Chains A and B, each alone.
Chain A
Amino acid sequence: MATLRLEIVTIEGRVFDDEVNMVIAPGVEGVMGILPRHAPLLTRLNFGELQIKKDGQADQFYAVGGGVMEVQGTQVIVLAESAEHVDAIDISRAEEARHRAEERLAQASKDQIDFDRAEAALRRSANRIKLARRHRQKGGYGVQTPDNR
């Protein structure tokens, strides 16, 4: 089957670089699936989940915190503000970050820039927590048990 070359990079380094079969990305105008030979595309990314499909392997999921994605031919480049594999997310740290962001958000109402930053931090940490929880449950999507809510 035809493949795509997917690269995910952040300022701190290269997060992912491999041949894959399909990428499902959180575009600002909706979630989109990219297959090989997709039309050239440039889009902003939302806070959300990036899913990677590869034959013969379990799907991989990354928590993406905004950025830009470029698709051309068989190449996909994701320039992410932040990106990490869901298995690598430290939930307690993300909880702390969310808490901090909420506090800052409450204080920063006067300054637009501070407000934007705090809001972005809040959304990023909330996204991390949501994805990490969802993927660590046995059943995958859906069922929530009281202790992991």
Chain B
Amino acid sequence: MASVREIKRRIKSVKNISQVTRAMQMIAASRMRRAQEQALASRPYAAKAWELLMHFAAQGIDVEQLHPLLARREVVKNVGIILITADKGLAGGYNGNVIRKVTRYMQSEGHEDASIVAVGKKGRDFMLRFGRKVIAEFTDLPPRPTSFDVAPIARLAIDGFLNGEFDEVHLAYTDFINTLTQTPTIRLLLPIQPSAEQMSEVMRDYITDTKPMTKAPYIYEPDPETLLDAILPSLTELQIYQAVLESRASEESARMVAMRNATENAKELIGDLTLTYNKARQAAITKEMLDIAGGAEALSQASK
């Protein structure tokens, strides 16, 4: 059996670890709430933008012809994937889940050579290690990302799509359902399709009407093309922004749960170790007493 002092040292170190994991759990919880609030706040805008686009589509004009960001390509050869992961680990299965989803997708769709735009260090490192084509990386986004922070990502996607570098751009991120459930998701980002399928599931609840109220033709100022020019890039940017926020909320809640488990395990371990420690101590005392008793017995025998 390990010595008493050794066990004592282990108890102390496990206690320290549990303090760290508990602190991390608290931090993750507050960050999760913040990201969640931010994600929720952006949903009405996204919902209205989608509705507007669907009203456009319902006008009977051929929207695909109207704007290059809406035009589907006949042959899809080059695919771009925006992969949103965390910069840090210690978040349970969070990073692994979304990365696995993407690699499976690349295999099953035959897009092994897809260009990866890595948002977050974990996804970048994984893809580089397995020799995938990582064409850009965006790491160290601030804890409270704004639409300004994601604008360059959107630019890259839009420019790449327009100049033919990508025939399709997909967005891989983690949808935040609740604290215990997060679902890794892959969605088509470009070309934009004004239909319910392209929306994330959480967004669908926010859309109230998909058809315009009136049948009368719209007045466009200045004209449909210019209007779409204003709406479509910002809708793309918005989708990425939302995906970043959903992923952030998912990351922090995954980390929170992971750290809570770690804290609980540490507590259990401390309990076990304390028991062992007490046993060892008891054994040491018993042994000492036996020694003393034995010694006394030997003495009394000798004096006889």
Q: Evaluate contact between A79 and B212: CB separation under 8 angstroms.
A: no
Q: B125-157: contact bitstring with A at CB < 8 Å (1 yes, 0 no)? A: 000000000000000000000010000000100
Q: Does B230 reach chain A (CB closer than 8 Å)?
A: yes
**A120 nearest CB across to chain B (Å):** 12
B187 CB-CB contact with A under 8 Å = no
**B230 contacts across to A, CB distance below 8 A:** 44, 67-68
The answer to whether B52 touches A41, judged by C-beta atoms less than 8 angstroms apart, is no
Contact of B216 among A13, A27, A40, A44 (CB under 8 A): A40
A14 at interface, CB cutoff 8 A? yes
Cβ of B246 to closest chain A Cβ, rounded Å? 14
Per the bound structure, the CA–CA distance linking A12 and B147 in Å amounts to 9
List A residues 4-52 near B (Cβ within 8 Å): 7, 9-14, 27-29, 39-44
Q: Is A75 engaged at the interface, CB distance under 8 Å to the other chain? A: yes
Contact assessment for B52 and A11 in the assembled complex, using a CB-CB cutoff below 8 Å: no
Chain A interface size, as a band, is 20 to 34
Residues of B within 8 A of A81 (CB): 234
Report yes or no: A42 in contact with B219, Cβ–Cβ below 8 A: yes
Query: In the complex, how many angstroms separate the beta carbon of A74 from the nearest chain B beta carbon?
Result: 8
Q: Is B284 an interface residue (CB 8 A)?
A: no
Rounded to whole Å, the gap between the CB of A15 and the closest CB of chain B is 10
Cα A39 to Cα B219 with chains together (Å) = 7
Does B238 touch A at the CB level, under 8 Å? yes
Distance between Cα atoms of A12 and B146 in the complex (Å):
9
Residues of B within 8 A of A67 (CB): 230
Is A90's CB within 8 Å of the partner chain B?
A: no
B213 within 8 Å of A by Cβ?
yes
Within the complex, the shortest CB–CB distance from B98 to chain A, in Å, comes to 24
Binds A, one of B25-33, B77-85, B106-114, B221-229: B221-229
Q: Are B44 and A68 in contact (CB under 8 A)?
A: no
B162 interface residue, CB < 8 Å from A?
A: no
A99 to B56, CA, bound (A): 39
Indicate which residue in A7, A13, A14, A42 contacts B221 across the interface (CB closer than 8 Å).
A42
> What CA separation (Å) do A67 and B44 show in the bound complex?
15
Chain A residues with Cβ under 8 A from B42's Cβ?
11-13
* Alpha-carbon separation in the docked complex, A29 to B55 (Å): 22
Residues of B with C-beta under 8 A to A44:
221-222, 226-227, 230
Contact A73 B220 (CB under 8 A): no
Nearest A-chain residue to B229, judged by Cβ: A44
Interface residues on B, range: 20 to 34
Within residues 45 to 68 of chain B, which ones have a CB less than 8 A from any CB in chain A?
Answer: 45, 48-49, 51-52, 55-56
Given A11-B238, A72-B55, A113-B155, A29-B44 contact (CB < 8 Å): no
Minimum CB–CB distance from A119 to chain B (whole Å) comes to 15
User: In the complex, A138 Cα to B234 Cα: how many Å?
Assistant: 38
A41 and chain B: residue at smallest CB distance: B219
Min CB gap B52→A, angstroms:
5
Question: Interface 1/0s, chain A 132-144, versus B by CB < 8 A?
Answer: 0000000000000
Cβ–Cβ < 8 Å partners of A72 in chain B: 55, 212-214, 218
Complex partner residue of A27 from B51, B221, B224, CB under 8 angstroms? B221
Chain A residues near B241: list those with CB within 8 A.
Answer: 11
- From residue 175 to 234 of chain B, which have CB atoms closer than 8 A to chain A? 212-214, 216-222, 224, 226-227, 230-231, 234
In the complex, 29 of the A-B residue pairs with CB atoms within 8 angstroms, ordered by the A residue number, are A9-B44, A10-B45, A12-B42, A13-B44, A14-B45, A28-B221, A29-B221, A39-B216, A40-B212, A40-B214, A40-B216, A40-B219, A41-B219, A41-B220, A42-B52, A42-B218, A42-B221, A42-B227, A43-B220, A43-B221, A43-B227, A44-B221, A70-B52, A70-B55, A72-B212, A77-B52, A79-B45, A79-B48, A81-B234
Q: Footprint of B on A, CB under 8 Å?
A: 7, 9-14, 27-29, 39-44, 67-68, 70, 72-73, 75, 77, 79, 81, 113
6 cross-chain pairs, A with B, having the tightest CB-CB distances, nearest first: A13-B41, A43-B221, A73-B213, A9-B45, A40-B218, A41-B219
